[in-house]
Structure formats: structure tokens, C-alpha cells
């Protein structure tokens, strides 16, 4: 079970309730992913634990706080993935492959959480929404910053402004995986590599294949 800053999840955190608080957030992620944020009530979440809805407030402040915690947890994982890749100082093509592998790994390991992050974050309000939007923008900019190195080195050609190219690369990765999954029994890493090759090389035959 992911441990996303347990202190945020409880009104008055106590060692005896932290595991229960994390379980509540996990149940919320699953229900939000299945039914949508507005399609899930606090009563629905409470029923997962045979609790009275009022008892949930021992662990969390509001339904929106559950959504915020889920989104911030996924953001943190995605940021760490970029940190890890950037720390390697590798070439652009390898960096894009490693980013794709890491993102898909997060998607697969925390599928419900990731779906909620992608589809339900817009239901946040006020400062919570702004924090998540800022985090998403920061991830986009960091990916965009990788592309000019490849273009400058002749590895990539400029097809579109960086914001369009980076969004297309990252968001379509997850959409394609959701649609076809591990077709053929390939691993997450193999899927990420195949996707990256298709995006960067397209369907054009390689030089060796045309001879």
C-alpha cells in the first residue's frame, strides 16, 4: 500500500489509525476509478469498511482531501521518476525510453491511483487544484526540456512545439497501454521500448530493412 505522507490523511494522526487512514485512501482511489469522483459518496467509501460515514472523519477531513492525496501521491512518483532519469545524464533516446518505462511502471503498480490522477483531478478546487495543476505543468516542462537536446544533436527532428510533442509522447503512452495492455505477454519495459521506438522511428523501414 502506498504511504503518502500519512500525517495529511488524518485530522489527528495517531499510530493506531494511520494504517486505516491509508486503507481509506486506497479504497477511495478504487471507487473513484470505477465510478468517478462525483459518482462516489463518503457512504460508499465507509461501506467498504462496514463503518458509519461519520467515522471516516477520524481518518480524513473530506472527500476532496482524499482526491488531493491520491493526485499528489502520483505526482510525487512521477517527479521521482524524472529525477532518477535526469541523474543518469544519459542521451535523449535512452532518457525517453527510461521515462516511459518508469511512468508505465507507476501506472501498472498503482493503476487505480493513476486513473484518478489522470481523469478526476479537475474536481479539485481552490489551492488544492492549483497545487496539482502546478505539479502537472512542472512535469510537462521538465519533459519538454529533454527534447531540444535531441533536436540539437540531430537525434530528433522538430515536429511540433515542445509542449505539444511532450504531451503527445507521455499522454498517448498511457492511453495506448490502457487500450491494449500487455498484448503478447510482453513486459512493461518491453511495451515502453516498443512505444518509444514507434514514436521516434514511425513505420518507416530502417535502412537495413530496405536493402
User: What phi-psi label fits residue 202: left (phi over 0), alpha (psi between -120 and 50 degrees) or beta?
Assistant: left
Q: What is the CA radius of gyration of the chain?
A: 20
Return the pLDDT at 15: 36
pLDDT in tens, 148-161: 776 666 666 665 66
Name the pLDDT band for 206 (thresholds 50, 70, 90). Answer: low
Residue found by looking up cell 545524464 in the block: 89
Of the candidates 147, 151, 196, the residue with the CA atom closest to the CA atom of residue 173: 196
Residue percentage of the chain with pLDDT more than 90 = 45
CA distance 200 to 198: 6
pTM of the model: 0.81
CA distance 162 to 76: 23
Mean pLDDT, range 176-185, rounded to an integer: 74
Specify whether the CB–CB gap between 113 and 73 falls below 8 A.
yes
63 has a pLDDT exceeding 50 = yes
pLDDT in tens, 90-145: 888 889 899 999 999 999 999 999 999 999 999 999 999 999 999 999 998 898 88
Amino acid at each position: 500500500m502506498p504511504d503518502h505522507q500519512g500525517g495529511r490523511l488524518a485530522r489527528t494522526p495517531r499510530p493506531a489509525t494511520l494504517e486505516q487512514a491509508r486503507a481509506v485512501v486506497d479504497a477511495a482511489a478504487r471507487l473513484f476509478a470505477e465510478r468517478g469522483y462525483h459518482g462516489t459518496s463518503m457512504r460508499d467509501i465507509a461501506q467498504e469498511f462496514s463503518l458509519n460515514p461519520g467515522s471516516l472523519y477520524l481518518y480524513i477531513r473530506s472527500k476532496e482531501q482524499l482526491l488531493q492525496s491520491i493526485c499528489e501521491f502520483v505526482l510525487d512518483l512521477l517527479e521521482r521518476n524524472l529525477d532518477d532519469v535526469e541523474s543518469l545524464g544519459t542521451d535523449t533516446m535512452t532518457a525517453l525510453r527510461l521515462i516511459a518505462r518508469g511512468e508505465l511502471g507507476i501506472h501498472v503498480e498503482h493503476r487505480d491511483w493513476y486513473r484518478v490522477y489522470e481523469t478526476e483531478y479537475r474536481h479539485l478546487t481552490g489551492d488544492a487544484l492549483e497545487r496539482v495543476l502546478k505539479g502537472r505543468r512542472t512535469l510537462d516542462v521538465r519533459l519538454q526540456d529533454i527534447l531540444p537536446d535531441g533536436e540539437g544533436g540531430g537525434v530528433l527532428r522538430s515536429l511540433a512545439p515542445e509542449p505539444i510533442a511532450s504531451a503527445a509522447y507521455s499522454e498517448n503512452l498511457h492511453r495506448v497501454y490502457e487500450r491494449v495492455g500487455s498484448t503478447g505477454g510482453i513486459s512493461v519495459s518491453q511495451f515502453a521500448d516498443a512505444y518509444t521506438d514507434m514514436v521516434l522511428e514511425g513505420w518507416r523501414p530502417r535502412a537495413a530493412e530496405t536493402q
